[in-house]
A and B are shown apart, each in its own frame.
Chain A
Amino acid sequence: MSFNRIYGLFLRHFFLIKSSLPRILDLIYWPTIQIILWGFISLFFSTYSNYYNNTLGVILTCAILYDFLFRSSISFNMLFLEEIWSRNFTNLFIAPMRISEIIISLVVTALIRTLIGLVPAILITSPLFGISILNLGIPLFFLFLSLYIFGITLGLFVSSGLLRYGPAFENIAWSSLFLLAPLGCIYYPIEILPDILQTMAKALPLVYIFEEARSILVNQYVDYTNIKNAFVLNIFYLFIGIVLFYYSFKQARKKGSLINIGE
C-alpha cells in the first residue's frame, strides 16, 4: 500500500476540480436546488398537515441526508467516468496501482467532492428555513457515516459494471439511486409500503437510517438498534461491493475491456 500512489490519484482529481469553476458550481448547484425545493415543499406540509409537529425539520433533514447519499454515490461514479471520458483509463491500469489503492483513493476523493457540494446547502438551511441538521446531535455522525458507506457501496457496484461493460453502463450510474429511493423510506415510515416491499426494504440500510433520523426529530429518542442494523447491513453490502469490483477487474482482464474502454 503506497500513500504516494493514493495521493497521486487524489491529486489527479483535485487538479481537475480546482481548475474548473463550472465543476465546482455543478457540485454546489444540485444540492442547493434540492434543498431550496424541498424547503418550500416542507413549508407547504407544515401548513396543511398535522402528521408531524415538526414537518419542516423532518422533511428537510431527510432531504439533506438523502442528498448526502446521492452525492457520495454519484461522486464515486463520476471519478470513474472521468477516466473513461478522458480516455485515460488504460494509462491508469498500466500504472502500478493496486485495486485497493484505486478504491481508497476514490473513496477519499468522493468524500471531498460530496462535502464541497453539501456544506453550502447545510449552511443555507438555517438562515432560510430556521432548520439545522445539527439538531440530530451525535447520532448525526453515525447517520452520515452509514449513508456514506452505502453511497460508496453503490458506487462500487456501478463502477464494477463500468469496468466490465464500459460506458454502456453509464446510465445505470445516474439512475441507481432513484431506483432505490422508494424502498429507502426516506420521507415516510416503512409501514406505508406494501408487505412485500417492506420485506425488501428491510434488507436495505436506508430504512434504518431514515427511521432513526425521524425518531430523533419527532420523538427526541435515539434508538441505537437502528444505527447498529444499518451498520451491519452496510458492512455486508460493502464487502460484496469490494468483491464484485475485484471480480469485475479480473473479468475485464479476461475479456479485454481494459484496452478499449474509452472508445
Chain B
Amino acid sequence: MQYPIVVKNLSKNYSNKAAVKNINFKINKNEILGLLGPNGCGKTTTIAMMLGLLKPTNGIVLIDGEDIEKKRIQLLHKMNFISPYIELPKKLTVKENLIVYGKLYGVKKVLLRIDYLSEKLRLTEFLDKKTGELSSGQKNRVSLAKALINDPKILFLDEPTASLDPETGDFVRTFIEKLSKEREMSILLASHNMDEVKRLCKNVLMMKDGLLIDQGTPNELIKKHGKINLEEVFLKLNRTSNEF
C-alpha cells in the first residue's frame, strides 16, 4: 500500500546545529497525525521540508510516492498549509485574497469554490471585508479557506486553533475532523493543545531536540508512560532529561 506521505531519514543541519535528526514516519489516507514537541524542537523545520520550503540535509519526503525535491511544483498542487505565523495580505478583501490563491493554485471555477468554502466556513458575510479588519477567529477561518482553496489531499496544520475562543476552536476542530473523513485527506497537525491532539489524531509523534522520541496512539502513550493524560506525557518527556 502506498502512503500519501512518507518521511525517510529526514535531517536538517544549520551550519553547526542539527535542527532535525534522522526522523521517519508515514501518514495514511484519512489520517490526522499529531506532531508534538516544545518550541524549537524541529516541528516547523520538519513541516517546511515536507512543503519543499527547506532543502533537507539528508533524507527524503515522498508525496504520493514522489520526491518533493524533484517534483516540488507538481506536488504543491496537492498540498496546502495553515499557520498563525503566516498571514494573508490585510488590505485585500477576503474574496480578493481567495481569488488570488485560487489562481495561484490553478483552481478552475474559483468563484464557485469560494462560495462553497465560505458557506462551509461561515465566511459569506465577510467576503467583501478587508482581511485586516477581521477578528482573529474570522481570520483563522479565512486562512483555512485559503488552505482548502485547491481541495488539497495533504494538509499541514500548524497550531490551527491558537488564540481562538473555545467556540471558534471547537468549530475549527469539528470542521477538520469532518474534512479528513469526507475528503480522505492526510493531515499533519502540529499543536500545543493536547486535548485537540487527543480528539483529532489517531497517532502522535513526540519530538524533542530534533529527534522523534516517542510515538503511538494518544491512549498508548498515556498508558505507556503511566500518566492520566497527554499533557502529563508531554511534560514527562520534556522534563526528564533536562530539569529532573
Query: Using an 8 Å CB-CB cutoff, how does the interface string of B169-191 with A read, 1 for contact, 0 for none?
Result: 00000000000000000000000
Closest 7 CB pairs of A and B: A8-B103, A96-B76, A95-B104, A12-B100, A15-B96, A87-B87, A86-B89
Contact indicator A256/B101 (Cβ below 8 Å): no
Residues in chain B within 8 A of chain A (CB atoms): 14, 44-45, 48, 51-55, 73-74, 76-77, 79-81, 83, 85-93, 96, 99-106, 130, 146
Q: Known contacts A8-B103, A96-B105: does B86 contact A256 (CB below 8 Å)? A: no
A256 adjacent to B89 (CB under 8 Å): no
Count chain B CB atoms within 10 A of each CB in A86, A89, A254 and give the residue with the most: A86
Cβ–Cβ contact A95 & B101, under 8 A: yes
Interface contact B53-A16, CB-CB below 8 Å:
no
Query: Contacts A5-B106, A11-B99, A256-B48 given: A94-B80 contact, CB under 8 Å?
Result: yes
Chain B neighbourhood of A195, CB < 8 A: none
**B76: nearest residue on chain A (CB-CB)?**
A96
Q: Which of B51, B103, B104, B130 has the most A CB atoms < 10 Å from its CB?
A: B104
The answer to whether B86 and A90 have CB atoms under 8 Å apart is yes
Report the nearest B residue to A93, measured CB to CB.
B53
B14, B48, B87, B106: the one within 8 Å of A96 (CB): B106
What are 18 A-B residue pairs whose CB atoms fall within 8 Å in the complex?
A7-B103, A8-B104, A9-B100, A19-B92, A19-B93, A19-B130, A82-B89, A86-B88, A86-B89, A87-B87, A88-B87, A94-B80, A94-B81, A95-B76, A95-B101, A253-B53, A255-B14, A256-B48
| CB <8 Å contact, A91 and B99 | no
- Whole-angstrom CA separation of A259 from B146 in the bound complex: 18
A165–chain B nearest beta-carbon distance, Å = 15
Please count how many residues in chain A sit with their CB below 8 Å of the partner chain's CB atoms: 36
CB within 8 A of B100: which of A15, A87, A250, A258?
A: A15
Task: Report yes or no: B100 in contact with A11, Cβ–Cβ below 8 A.
Answer: yes
Map CB proximity to B onto A119-154 as digits: 1 under 8 Å, 0 otherwise: 000000000000000000000000000000000000
From the candidates B53, B91, B102, B146, name the one contacting A8 in the complex (CB within 8 A): B102
Of all chain B residues, which has the CB nearest A3?
B103
Residues of B with C-beta under 8 A to A89: 86
- Chain A interface residues (CB < 8 Å from chain B): 2, 4-5, 7-9, 11-12, 15-16, 19-20, 82, 86-98, 250, 253-256, 258-260, 262-263
B57 to chain A, nearest CB (A): 9
Q: Contact: B92 with A259, CB < 8 Å?
A: no
Number of residue pairs across A and B with beta carbons under 8 Å? 105
**Cα separation A7 to B106 with both chains bound (whole Å):** 11
**A95-B76, A256-B45 as given contacts; A11 in contact with B103, CB under 8 Å:** yes
Query: Are A91 and B146 in contact (CB-based, < 8 A)?
Result: yes
Which listed residue (A5, A16, A88, A258) contacts B103, Cβ 8 A? Answer: A5
Min CB–CB distance B117 → chain A (angstroms)? 16
B77–A96 contact, CB under 8 A?
yes
Q: How far is the CA of A4 from the CA of B92 in the complex (A)?
A: 19
- Which residues from B are CB-within-8-Å of A7? 103
Residues of B within 8 Å of A16, CB to CB, are 89, 91-92
CB distance from A39 to the nearest CB of B (A): 34
* B residues in contact with A15, CB < 8 Å: 92-93, 96, 100
A5's closest neighbor in chain B, by CB? B104
A6 to B: closest C-beta gap in Å: 9
**Beyond A96-B73, A96-B76, 8 extra complex contacts between A and B, CB < 8 Å:** A4-B103, A5-B103, A8-B100, A15-B100, A86-B89, A91-B86, A94-B81, A96-B77
A92 contacts across to B, CB distance below 8 A: 104
A94 to chain B: which residues have CB within 8 Å? Answer: 51-53, 76, 79-81
Measured between beta carbons, the chain A residues less than 8 angstroms from B80 are 94
Cβ–Cβ contact A254 & B55, under 8 A? yes
Q: How far is it, in angstroms, between the C-alpha of A254 and the C-alpha of B19 when the chains are bound? A: 13
Interchain CA distance A12-B90 in the complex, whole Å: 11
Out of B51, B73, B87, B104, which one reaches A86, CB within 8 Å? B87
Q: With a CB–CB cut-off of 8 A, which chain A residues contact B81?
A: 90-91, 94
**CB atoms of A253 and B89 under 8 A apart:** no
Give A146 to B103 CA distance when docked, in angstroms.
31
What residues of B have a CB within 8 angstroms of the CB of A96 in the complex?
Answer: 73-74, 76-77, 104-106
> How far in angstroms is the closest Cβ of chain B from A176?
25
Give the Cβ gap from B147 to chain A, nearest Cβ, in Å: 9
A residues within 8 A CB of B146? 91
Residues of B within 8 A of A263 (CB): 85
Q: Are B89 and A12 in contact (CB under 8 A)?
A: yes
Smallest CB-CB separation from A260: which chain B residue? B85
